[in-house]
Structure 1
Amino acid sequence: MELSMALEEIFTFSLLAASLLLIFYLVTKSLKNPLRKIPGPPGLPLLGHILSLNPTKIHNQFYEMARKYGAIMKVKIFTKTIVVLNSKEACLEALSKTGTDFQGRPSLKRNQIVLPPNVAFSNFSDKQVMLRRLFTKAMKAYGPGVVHLEKILQETIQCLVDDIDQKEGQAIDSAELSIGYVCCVLASMMFGEKYSYDDELCHRMNRVNSQVIKTTDPFSNGVVFDVIPFLYDFKFLFKKERKKIESAKETFSNFIKTRIEEAKKSFDVNQMRGCLDYLIELQKQENDVDGQPLLDEVGLQGMMANFLIGGLETSRRSLAQMFLDLLHDPTLQKTLQAEIDSQYEPTETITLKDKVKLPRMEAYMLEQMRFLTQVPFMIPHMAVRDAEVAGYKIPAGTVVLMNSYHVAHNPDVFDEPFEVKPERLLDENGKLVDRDHPLRENFLGFGAGRRQCPGESFAKSRIFLFLANILQKYHVEVDGELPDRDVRKYPMSILLTPPSVKVRFTRRQ
């Protein structure tokens, strides 16, 4: 009996000692963690800030935190610390001045399942750099000034005008119109053919894209698989979310694979059509040091994913915001039309090379993008090695968010930051201010550094032609109730989404 009690006491003492040692280890480790020095709101043990963050209003919550904590702060999602950079200087330091220190991407389970490996979401590596080069090469084949792109855009604009004319003044949903235009442009760009608004391919593109966006939304229930990836291995958990993920994967894969197979069957090197043809040719030409193709089939599918999702989502939201701006501010519409009328006859065609003639138009485009800042935190970055930013040490593997929403609405930089004021981007002579002007530098919507969006030029081109041609030919009027355009009231998912509005187009005389 005495031996048994002695053994029990020894076991109890040993367990207590082990527990104390574990606690000592965890406390010591926490004290040595450099992230603890970064300011941020107090959180709960184990849960962090997960209960205090509102997914649909997180852009506003982070904005208020930025005003309190300054250039850099931290939040915790469960036990994972996320660093948030709130100033232009801190963001540019991480994106450009530190080389590749913050060029990684965190592993997101749903993206890995639904999408093939791609340039935008892949972690930084030599292969990622090479694939980005190929992607940019294909994009440049269709950049501004290239005759074929100009033709595609002008033909799509004409289809848009014909479609509006056929409605004969009927109310049109701004979101549907924006999606239809962007889908037509992207389909033509990728596949090299002319598509109409009622083409099934364009509708299918939109359905596929919408399904992927909803499935990978970081603020939906499926985020549990991103935060705790191994839960996906337990088939009996979150069956509804798992079904959505598998369905999105199948839908997207079937669409992309079918388009690639069809393009390869009809491929003719002497008659290049769209960017897909250029990528197929690059697939044959570009090899790595071992003589293997740099762009395999999975890589090609990933490229198409970047074209589709990256090209469609952002442009359609910019166009939707433009309708709200024109309807809320009739003076803006008249001013832009007056500038167009001063440079063009009603029957003249507005082209990309003529953008320089319309500085107020370009100033409005840039101001609208700043105001909306539809990607409030960019695509998440990750430190690929121990690094430093804003005077704080950041351990390798730390997820870093760029709070571009606060940067673009910083009241210390912008007078009335939540108002649309194109004139702030014009100098005393009415010309667009230079790219290095502080007000232009404080818009980081397309990123910066090595991971800057390669589609920036094309995105601005299609938005410019849409806006210029619509305003040259029509007065835009609201039909029914006009929704609020306060970006602080827009719901947050992956992106900020302006509300749609019913509009009427009246031909200008």
Structure 2
Amino acid sequence: MELGDLTVTQILLTVVGGMLIYLIIKWLKDPIRKIPGPRGLPFLGNVLALNPTNVHNQFYELAKKFGAVMKVKVFTVPIVVLNSREACMEALIKTGTDFQGRPPLARVFRIIPKDVGFTTMNSDHSFLRRTFTKTMKAYGPGVAHLEGIMQDTIQEMTEEINRRGDQVINTADLCSGYVGCVIASMMFGEKYSFDDEVCQMLHKMNKQLIAAADPFTAGALFDFFPFLLKFKFLFPKTQQTLEDANQVFNDFVKTKTEQFRDSYDPNDKRGCLDYFIEIQQKELDKDGKPLLDNEGMKGLLLDFISGGLETSQNSLRQMLLDLVADLTLQKDLQAEIDSQFEPTHKITLKDREKLPQLESYMLESLRYLSQTPFLVPHMTIRDTGVAGYKIPANTIVLMNSFYLAHNPDVYEKPFTVEPKRFLDEDGNLLKSDHPLRENFIGFGAGRRQCPGELFAKSRIFLFLSNILQKYNVEPAGELPDHDVRKYPMSILLATPSAKVRLTRRQH
């Protein structure tokens, strides 16, 4: 009996010893081990040391300590963080598609199984991206038609502001109203007022998506361990939020798509949804099935909402906050507009080249805010490398855009808004290949660069130039903290709203 017990003990010790040897060998061979980074705990990694709402500042400090490439661990999952422009460009452009995957974000995929922003680059993704780009180019064609929509929305916005007189306006309401109307008009080709039901539904869906997919909440456990979604008793509130968001999105897309299919006229396309319907009807696979299925249609529409709505209104809130925090900046920008145009002139996108100071300020505000501090997470789709380090397939990789945009070796006073930072000695806008401009990669780069960048900047320019031409923006009470390092981190760095008064300028 004793001999038998001893034999069993020996067997168990041999098995345990073998497992330990296997794990040690695996650890020694892991190329991620050679990448510098903060020490973590077994099984937990760096989770306890990371503050979800302040992680942009933490990674900023870590970048100064560890250099161009570093790693952190969330539980047992290693995350590689690229902290230099050279490393980011190598990953995004020079390595081809090696870094063009996306992490399997279980909560997002529950709502959007197919889309341009969150899915890994494959044949379905490439088709959806081509469809998105093709629709933008075809839309009337493209920027020209879009500008007409934005001008109509600006006219509606101006009338609403004038009706309110000197009433206090919340910048969040003003910006979301404008951007919501533009997005709705782009998608459906109709003119909408600020309080229209469709615009309100877009905002509701956008908030639900953010709440459902926020990577800095406890629900992020589902992204790292997707099997947990099967246990409905775990984080029931998060699971219910996911189900509610999915239901609302499905109902909205189904209703709108059926409505537009019934009234579709190939000779009179109203908005992007009509172009999607045309592609769905004409582009078929070898079995006669639409290449753009209903899930793809849903994903494209939600890309318009999630990609266009939150980022644009957040940027505009920041710019209005800049204007009331620095009235000299506001007067300087108004002086430039006044020097170029009569008060009755209708500012168009063609006028951008005449307003280099305004263009410089817009770039500076986007740099300062850096609202997507790590872009959308990437994932390696094969064994690859960057900056001399080997990176295995299926490794999550973040681009530390926040550090790049505030790198003290590139930008003097990086945490100060310097409106003329992007002007040369003659007052002209710096070329796009200037180091000050190249180091800001807030819209990404390479094959996964944001396809809506052009339209986002167009929306921002027309909104800002028209506000400055027509109104003085004055603070109405105490202003929120203007330091981006104190902004809370969620899906984006969220600019706080401010209370302002818009008074008609006397020219």
TM-score normalized by the length of structure 2: 0.98
Q: What corresponds to 2:29 in structure 1?
A: 32
Q: Contact 1:116–1:301 (CA<8 Å) still a contact in 2? A: no
Moved more, 132-141 or 99-108: 132-141
Q: Alpha carbons of 1:82 and 1:418: their partners in 2 closer, same or farther (altered >3 Å)?
A: same
Q: What corresponds to 1:389 in structure 2?
A: 386
Q: Alpha carbons of 1:290 and 1:94: their partners in 2 closer, same or farther (altered >3 Å)?
A: farther
Q: What corresponds to 2:262 in structure 1?
A: 265
What is the CA–CA distance in structure 2 between the aligned matches of 1:75 and 1:116, rounded to whole Å?
Answer: 28
- The answer as to 2:394 corresponding to 1:404 is no
What is the CA–CA distance in structure 2 between the aligned matches of 1:238 and 1:497, rounded to whole Å?
Answer: 25
Q: Contact 1:144–1:457 (CA<8 Å) still a contact in 2? A: no
Task: Please report how far the alpha carbon of residue 145 of structure 1 lies from its aligned counterpart in structure 2 after TM superposition.
Answer: 6.6
Match of 1:200 among 197, 200, 212: 197
What is the CA–CA distance in structure 2 between the aligned matches of 1:182 and 1:143, rounded to whole Å?
Answer: 19
Task: Give a deviation string over 1:191-237, Cα, whole Å, max 9, x none.
Answer: 00000011111111101110111111001121111111111112232
Task: Give a deviation string over 1:288-320, Cα, whole Å, max 9, x none.
Answer: 466542211111111101011100010000000
Match of 2:58 among 58, 61, 67: 61
Specify the code of the residue in structure 1 equivalent to 2:390.
K
Match of 2:271 among 261, 270, 274: 274
Moved more, 203-212 or 292-301: 292-301
What is the CA–CA distance in structure 2 between the aligned matches of 1:147 and 1:238, rounded to whole Å?
Answer: 47
Specify the code of the residue in structure 1 equivalent to 2:82.
L
Q: Contact 2:474–2:501 (CA<8 Å) still a contact in 1? A: yes
* DSSP 3-state at the match of 2:47: coil
Moved more, 393-402 or 354-363: 354-363
* DSSP 3-state at the match of 1:51: helix
* DSSP 3-state at the match of 1:401: strand
Specify the code of the residue in structure 2 equivalent to 1:151.
G
Specify the code of the residue in structure 2 equivalent to 1:387.
T
Moved more, 250-259 or 175-184: 250-259
Task: Give a deviation string over 1:79-117, Cα, whole Å, max 9, x none.
Answer: 110000011111111001110000000101100112241
Q: What corresponds to 1:124 in structure 2?
A: 121
Specify the code of the residue in structure 1 equivalent to 2:371.
Q
Moved more, 42-51 or 263-272: 263-272
Q: What corresponds to 1:170 in structure 2?
A: 167
Task: Please report how far the alpha carbon of residue 352 of structure 1 lies from its aligned counterpart in structure 2 after TM superposition.
Answer: 0.8
1:156-305 correspondence runs (5 A): 156-288=153-285, 291-305=288-302
Match of 1:337 among 309, 316, 334: 334
- The answer as to 2:94 corresponding to 1:97 is yes
What is the CA–CA distance in structure 1 between the aligned matches of 2:142 and 2:350, rounded to whole Å?
Answer: 7
Q: Contact 1:473–1:507 (CA<8 Å) still a contact in 2? A: yes
* DSSP 3-state at the match of 1:393: strand
- The answer as to 2:472 corresponding to 1:475 is yes
Task: Give a deviation string over 1:333-358, Cα, whole Å, max 9, x none.
Answer: 01110111111100110001111111
What is the CA–CA distance in structure 1 between the aligned matches of 2:284 and 2:201, rounded to whole Å?
Answer: 33
Specify the code of the residue in structure 2 equivalent to 1:44.
L
* DSSP 3-state at the match of 2:478: coil
Specify the code of the residue in structure 2 equivalent to 1:486.
D
What is the CA–CA distance in structure 2 between the aligned matches of 1:507 and 1:144, rounded to whole Å?
Answer: 34
Match of 2:357 among 357, 360, 368: 360
What is the CA–CA distance in structure 2 between the aligned matches of 1:447 and 1:422, rounded to whole Å?
Answer: 23
- The answer as to 2:38 corresponding to 1:41 is yes
What is the CA–CA distance in structure 2 between the aligned matches of 1:253 and 1:485, rounded to whole Å?
Answer: 38
What is the CA–CA distance in structure 2 between the aligned matches of 1:5 and 1:205, rounded to whole Å?
Answer: 73
Moved more, 158-167 or 251-260: 251-260
Specify the code of the residue in structure 2 equivalent to 1:16.
L
What is the CA–CA distance in structure 1 between the aligned matches of 2:62 and 2:140, rounded to whole Å?
Answer: 39
Match of 1:328 among 325, 342, 351: 325
Specify the code of the residue in structure 2 equivalent to 1:497.
A
Q: Contact 1:287–1:293 (CA<8 Å) still a contact in 2? A: yes
Q: Contact 1:343–1:357 (CA<8 Å) still a contact in 2? A: yes
Task: Please report how far the alpha carbon of residue 504 of structure 1 lies from its aligned counterpart in structure 2 after TM superposition.
Answer: 0.3
What is the CA–CA distance in structure 1 between the aligned matches of 2:142 and 2:256, rounded to whole Å?
Answer: 27
- The answer as to 2:134 corresponding to 1:137 is yes
Task: Please report how far the alpha carbon of residue 423 of structure 1 lies from its aligned counterpart in structure 2 after TM superposition.
Answer: 1.1
Q: Contact 1:43–1:76 (CA<8 Å) still a contact in 2? A: yes
Task: Give a deviation string over 1:104-161, Cα, whole Å, max 9, x none.
Answer: 0010110011224111111111221122111111122348874322211111000010
- The answer as to 2:49 corresponding to 1:52 is yes
1:102-121 correspondence runs (5 A): 102-121=99-118
Task: Give a deviation string over 1:382-430, Cα, whole Å, max 9, x none.
Answer: 0000001011000000000000000000000000001111212011221
Q: Contact 1:373–1:408 (CA<8 Å) still a contact in 2? A: yes
- The answer as to 2:501 corresponding to 1:504 is yes
Percent identity, please.
61
What is the CA–CA distance in structure 2 between the aligned matches of 1:135 and 1:166, rounded to whole Å?
Answer: 37
Q: What corresponds to 2:11 in structure 1?
A: 14
Q: What corresponds to 1:460 in structure 2?
A: 457
Match of 2:441 among 422, 441, 444: 444
Specify the code of the residue in structure 2 equivalent to 1:394.
I
* DSSP 3-state at the match of 1:422: coil
Task: Please report how far the alpha carbon of residue 68 of structure 1 lies from its aligned counterpart in structure 2 after TM superposition.
Answer: 0.2
Root mean square deviation, CA, Å: 1.2
What is the CA–CA distance in structure 1 between the aligned matches of 2:229 and 2:177, rounded to whole Å?
Answer: 36
Moved more, 187-196 or 427-436: 427-436
Q: Contact 1:139–1:454 (CA<8 Å) still a contact in 2? A: no
Match of 2:308 among 307, 311, 327: 311
Q: Contact 1:119–1:128 (CA<8 Å) still a contact in 2? A: yes
